[in-house]
Structure 1
């Protein structure tokens, strides 16, 4: 094994090798990001086909997110142990294998296990794709390399809902995973062909197995508690109480262990840096709100508004239009502005978007539903890069990689938790609104007797008429509940703004700027 001290970085690639290397790395990144959004509009179809509730269907999203978050802190250790090129290509090929397993899954348990594997092996792909891409270009062209990489990560969320919706409506949902196979195989083959002679040196490093084990137990237990709480009646269930106790104990031991271990899997001492903890907390909470509403909206559209998967995908896709246009401008000019002001603007736009959605009703047309989605793209452009700039500003240069990994871990984990919490609150509020609306259906209500009479006159029996009214109540209750979630999310975004202003942004060096661009996606 070569010594890290003697390692000289290879010269930048030239000509067609650089072109094909960029295409391969971008394709792998595209495939990774696409898979984080492509399943959103397919959840009702997946849940129905596998015989589970739509609430259980969200485990397809959360299992991927939790496993992905757990893998992120391990990327640095794995890349030094096995080499960046080997790790990246192995991750891509395992991603292909797990995608194939997802598409063939005969039941929800197998699908969740395959998605967890997919999320775990996807963890190293994003940071390593960025690292290998930067090594392919001379320093003077690093900005262009990052712009190409950033565009890939922004186009994928636009394509995900569209492609997922079309596939679900026109073929078996498994094809949303099968399409990764040719892309991944080609990306892995081209990357290995071009980069295998540029492998980084390897060395045996200690790994914090105790800390990693405690982290896996704590995160898995709390995610299972959030996912299963609704159907098990929360703390009336022994299983939920047990999961909560296990999570709290494991997390407490994890914190103590990480502060005392010489090689912690997560460097919690970074939270002593004001900019880091304010940025990370703001990013995690904001991303949890964003992801929760991103999953809730297509579920509501398909379950209660009569939208097909394709139509839901068409409504969700425009979120990336302004993000694609504005993100390069924000990234290029970030040094000219106070990132706290840009983040504040993003949070206000998010709040406005969610406030608009909180006034949706069952007669809202496609255009009305799409307007907030288009506007949300503006918030995305001014959200990730400035907030990542705040988070990494002031972190010592030798801690930038650890800080970027830890903030990404917190963000991805926040997204998984936010998805579970949003869907749970939506279902609870739906039940409450349904009960309140049902109370109004009685013999003393002129509206209900008139509606029954009208339905009877159209040829329905009394039972059929009552069933029809109940379906209308279901739709109204779910819509009111979704409005509640949207409104609460808008309020939380506004409450987050003072937290951002606790930070004291500092200018970042070149290394931190590169990490900011990576962490932003």
Structure 2
């Protein structure tokens, strides 16, 4: 498609510009998690409704990913990258000026759509401008950027929310995006590119949008509407199932499928992708729940919730280059299995928390989990791409990324649903023991000054706090067993695991 001998005037500036755009997108994803309770409160919606800010972006981002290859061939890689950055800046500004939750959700959905090509194109352009011998360095740099952004995101989100107001978490993208656009345009505008007209799978795209979009609505609204007691949920589920079944049938028979499902014929791709999607979904859910629990139940400010969550990125920052350099000397299943063991263990550590847990213990568990994250992305992605023919590497990487992002969006809805549903269960269980005839209840009432409306309200607050604590323990216990189960799944893959997949994947972030 392009001249392989092209080199920008300044490799350093070109690399910085491309990396900045990737940094901006990853930062935007994590910065919103910490600000979610503040956004929900300011716009007058529940925390469950507030998760639409995350899920609308993630679903639309997932839908846009399969289109990246076609768009790059149609318009050129540099033009697509620059257009995506400019549109990301515009939609970020629109998110910042939104004054209602429906407005913000629409603008976040648009932001997710235009963000789709950013990471794949950043990866492609870095591979193109670096000589073959130095491509590992380029991908290590990109991996470093995707690790640093989640460290800065929660802290920056908390600081901005505390010191200014939540719209600034979106406005911060404007200067970063403008700088990245100017730098990349100056360095890459003369890169020769050949475009080609290729048919697009419109029917597959329509079925994808309908099936995935309606499924996400069902997941988000199910809890509010009491699931299958609601006619809306029943109809939505039927539409989603029919659309997704039709999508699978169509994609397996179409000559130019938008999603190449035939890749699941390869054993390592199937089990590697399953481990990646489930592992990333668990990781995403943990990162979503922890800041919300700290703020809504333990009284943390947004910036302190960010500081408590951020240490997860410390070890990956230093270990990612070493994993990339030396991973090929080990059985990659051992590294991935070690990752799941560490992450699972960290979940069981959190399951031992109570409402008196201090900042230090929370941060220490985050640091420990970071060891698992450092060992997760590169080995798992290398395994899933290892058995694919060279011509299918790009499609395999795109399909795995699509499913990973989609898994993250579903995880945000399911995490919130599990957390609130288990809280309702535990609240009911605890309330049964709070009666006028229970000695412990009588003693507590006496400490509050006797039976009164304010005393009963105080007791209800205590019960609610403990119910959310028990629900949080249930969630982390579930996640612990999930990650332990992934150890078995990753060992269903079979060596040898060649390095060709890793080189193309850029670490799988």
TM over 0.5: yes
Pairing partner for 2:478 from 457, 469, 488: 488
* Residue 246 (str. 1) matches residue 246 (str. 2): no
Would you say the 8 A contact 1:218–1:250 is kept in 2?
A: yes
CA distance in 2 between counterparts of 1:515 and 1:466 reads 61
Give the drift of 1:352. Answer: 0.3
Give the 5 Å matches for 1:85-164: 85-164=78-157
Pairing partner for 2:193 from 197, 200, 212: 200
For residue 39 of structure 1, give the secondary structure of its aligned residue in structure 2.
helix
Counterpart for residue 277 of structure 1? 270
Would you say the 8 A contact 1:86–1:199 is kept in 2?
A: no
Give the drift of 1:509. Answer: 5.1
What whole-Å deviation, never above 9, does each CA across 1:191-235 have from its counterpart, x for those lacking one? Answer: 112111104211100100100110110000111111110111111
* Residue 227 (str. 1) matches residue 220 (str. 2): yes
CA distance in 1 between counterparts of 2:89 and 2:8 reads 27
TM-score by length of 2: 0.98
- 5+ residue gaps, structure 1: none
Give the drift of 1:349. Answer: 0.4
Give the drift of 1:134. Answer: 2.2
Counterpart for residue 479 of structure 1? 469
Counterpart for residue 287 of structure 2? 294
What whole-Å deviation, never above 9, does each CA across 1:411-440 have from its counterpart, x for those lacking one? Answer: 111111111111101100000111111111
CA distance in 2 between counterparts of 1:278 and 1:144 reads 28
TM-score by length of 1: 0.96
Deviates more, 1:139-148 or 1:63-72: 139-148
Counterpart for residue 399 of structure 1? 392
Counterpart for residue 517 of structure 1? 506
Deviates more, 1:403-412 or 1:288-297: 288-297
* Residue 8 (str. 1) matches residue 3 (str. 2): yes
- State the Cα RMSD in Å: 1.2
Counterpart for residue 320 of structure 1? 313
Give the drift of 1:243. Answer: 0.8
Give the drift of 1:463. Answer: 0.6
CA distance in 1 between counterparts of 2:136 and 2:504 reads 12
What whole-Å deviation, never above 9, does each CA across 1:307-350 have from its counterpart, x for those lacking one? Answer: 11011000010000011111111110111011111111000001
Counterpart for residue 453 of structure 2? 463
For residue 194 of structure 2, give the secondary structure of its aligned residue in structure 1.
coil
Pairing partner for 1:349 from 336, 342, 351: 342
Would you say the 8 A contact 2:382–2:499 is kept in 1?
A: no
Counterpart for residue 37 of structure 1? 30
Pairing partner for 1:176 from 149, 160, 169: 169
Give the drift of 1:19. Answer: 1.4
CA distance in 2 between counterparts of 1:191 and 1:516 reads 22
CA distance in 2 between counterparts of 1:332 and 1:409 reads 26
CA distance in 1 between counterparts of 2:63 and 2:268 reads 23
Deviates more, 1:309-318 or 1:490-499: 490-499
What whole-Å deviation, never above 9, does each CA across 1:440-486 have from its counterpart, x for those lacking one? Answer: 111111111111111117xxx71111111111111100010011010
CA distance in 2 between counterparts of 1:211 and 1:249 reads 13
* Residue 373 (str. 1) matches residue 366 (str. 2): yes
Pairing partner for 1:49 from 23, 42, 46: 42
Give the drift of 1:513. Answer: 2.8
Pairing partner for 1:505 from 495, 500, 509: 495
Give the drift of 1:26. Answer: 1.0
Counterpart for residue 360 of structure 1? 353
Pairing partner for 2:442 from 431, 438, 449: 449
CA distance in 2 between counterparts of 1:95 and 1:250 reads 29
Pairing partner for 2:333 from 340, 347, 358: 340
CA distance in 2 between counterparts of 1:260 and 1:134 reads 32
